[in-house]
């Protein structure tokens, strides 16, 4: 009997997560070994379980999907990552693939399309939902045509973006240091760098900026 591939599902919506688990558990080739409700839980689940496949939402609390992708690929490059998200912009798609994603599927896809996406990435192919593929190509070509000047946001490092997200979600420095396994002094340094780079002067401004950049939801 062929050994099943180990799967981690990272999705903060419990109902949607349970639906995905039910669907994947019905397959003879896959075994769901862990579930995660936020980005940090997702990374830790990969650390503990060493999965073959990670099904990942982009918009999650504590650490967003882009950070999870980079950290997981750094820890375990062989883990195949399929993004399952509501975001259809070419910016989100390109950033996900640049981070190391193997596939990108939209949440309103049919079950059949999701099955095709899963089979594609597990066979070593890249996958992008058909409905957004043309927009992604156009966005990529537009980027290649333009000599893009570096914005203030472009100077913010991945770690600083993680700290900004957590600050915007209302976490205190001590909590952030625990989440990211860094010192409080380092958190304070990151916060100071963020405020300087983005010309922001208080917590409300940080939260508003993070919301505009899609790091946290507006509700």
Domain covering 5-144, topology = Rossmann fold (3.40.50)
pTM beyond 0.85: no
pLDDT of residue 91: 81
Q: What CA–CA distance (Å, rounded) separates 134 from 143?
A: 14
Token duo for residue 16: 């949607």
**Consecutive 10-residue averages of pLDDT for the chain (219 residues):** 89 94 93 96 96 95 92 96 90 88 92 94 91 66 53 87 93 93 94 92 90 79
Q: What is the structure's pLDDT at 147?
A: 41
Give the pLDDT confidence score for residue 46 in this predicted structure. 97
What is the CA 178 to chain-centroid distance, rounded? 20
Q: Where are the alpha helices (DSSP H) in the chain?
A: 14-25, 39-49, 65-75, 90-99, 111-122, 130-145, 158-168, 173-180, 184-198, 203-212
Residue 138's pLDDT is what?
A: 63
CATH class of 153-212: mainly alpha
CA atoms of 171 and 191, how far apart (whole Å): 12
Give the model's pLDDT for residue 129: 87
Domain ranges of the chain: 5-144, 153-212
């Amino acid at each position: 009997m062929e050994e099943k591939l180990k799967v981690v599902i990272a999705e903060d919506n419990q109902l949607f997560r349970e639906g995905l688990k039910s669907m994947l558990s019905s397959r003879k080739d896959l075994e769901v070994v862990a579930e995660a409700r936020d980005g940090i839980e997702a990374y830790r689940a990969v650390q503990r379980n060493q999965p073959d496949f990670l099904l990942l939402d982009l918009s999650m609390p504590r650490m967003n999907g882009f950070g999870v992708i980079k950290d997981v690929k750094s820890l375990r490059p062989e883990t195949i990552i399929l993004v399952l998200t509501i975001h259809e912009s070419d910016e989100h798609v390109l950033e996900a693939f640049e981070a190391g994603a193997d596939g990108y599927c939209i949440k309103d896809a049919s079950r059949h399309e999701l099955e095709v996406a899963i089979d594609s990435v597990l066979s070593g192919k890249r996958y992008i939902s058909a409905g957004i593929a043309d927009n992604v190509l156009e966005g990529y070509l537009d980027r290649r045509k333009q000599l893009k000047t570096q914005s203030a946001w472009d100077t913010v490092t991945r770690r600083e973006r993680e700290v900004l997200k957590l600050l915007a979600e209302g976490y205190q420095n001590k909590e952030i240091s625990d989440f990211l396994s860094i010192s409080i002094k380092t958190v304070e340094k990151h916060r100071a760098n963020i405020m300087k780079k983005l010309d922001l002067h208080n917590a409300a401004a940080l939260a508003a900026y993070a919301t505009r950049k899609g790091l946290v939801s507006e509700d």
